[in-house]
Chain A
């Protein structure tokens, strides 16, 4: 699976959009981009995933560049409860490799009042 690069930390003002970047320049054509977050020491929480089209759900939007070498997770109106470590992961969906997601160090997002 392709490796990802994320900034170690970011700040965002409450109520503003939080834009979390992820570089995955070696991504393969059949690899999806997944985002998870982990609030304090709770279990990681799935946010969103996509292949090449932009995706949106009730939590966030995922913008993937046309060349698929990078993506941005957007939290449209960040709240204090969005303070967490955000993980960007790329992997092939539904393949036969047993090992699932490889979590890197992620980006620690701090939403400030």
Chain B
């Protein structure tokens, strides 16, 4: 089944403790991206990747890192999480830039 998977789905952590949210797609898509969703602010793009080893900042990249060493994986790294990064995170992929995106199920992160 074609899908985008994220892990973990739920995470509660403390300020400053490094964490990684994994994202994987099995559709051989070139384009992958990360969004965060907050009440009243909608979905905002954090980082995106147009292909392996090609990444760039979205609208809200501060406090996040990404890497794209393999086509299928696009992990989101929070080196030193802070409470303002408490949010619902979505990973997405698409065959090419601008084509329809397929979203993962989301990761709900709480930083205390």
List residues of chain A with CB under 8 Å of any chain B CB: 32, 34, 36, 41-46, 49, 91-106
Segment from B12-20, B68-76, B97-105 that makes contact with A? B97-105
List, sorted by A's number, 6 A–B pairs whose CB atoms are closer than 8 Å.
Answer: A42-B105, A43-B106, A49-B100, A100-B92, A100-B98, A103-B43
Question: Contacts A41-B106, A42-B106 hold; do A105 and B97 have CB atoms under 8 A apart?
Answer: no
List residues of chain B with CB under 8 Å of any chain A CB: 4, 31, 33, 35, 37, 42-43, 45, 48, 50, 56, 58-59, 88, 90, 92, 94, 96-106, 108
Can you name the residue of chain A whose Cβ is closest to the Cβ of B96?
Answer: A94
Can you name the residue of chain A whose Cβ is closest to the Cβ of B41?
Answer: A105
Interface contact A91-B4, CB-CB below 8 Å: no
Interface contact B42-A46, CB-CB below 8 Å: no
Chain B residue contacts of A101, Cβ below 8 A: 101
Describe A's contact surface by its main secondary structure. loop
Interface contact A99-B103, CB-CB below 8 Å: no
Can you name the residue of chain B whose Cβ is closest to the Cβ of A45?
Answer: B103
Interface contact A91-B42, CB-CB below 8 Å: no
Interface contact B103-A44, CB-CB below 8 Å: yes
Chain A residue contacts of B88, Cβ below 8 A: 41
Question: Contacts A34-B100, A44-B90, A94-B96 hold; do A99 and B105 have CB atoms under 8 A apart?
Answer: no
Q: List 9 other contacts, CB 8 Å, given A43-B106, A100-B92.
A: A41-B108, A43-B103, A44-B43, A44-B92, A93-B99, A95-B98, A98-B58, A100-B48, A103-B35
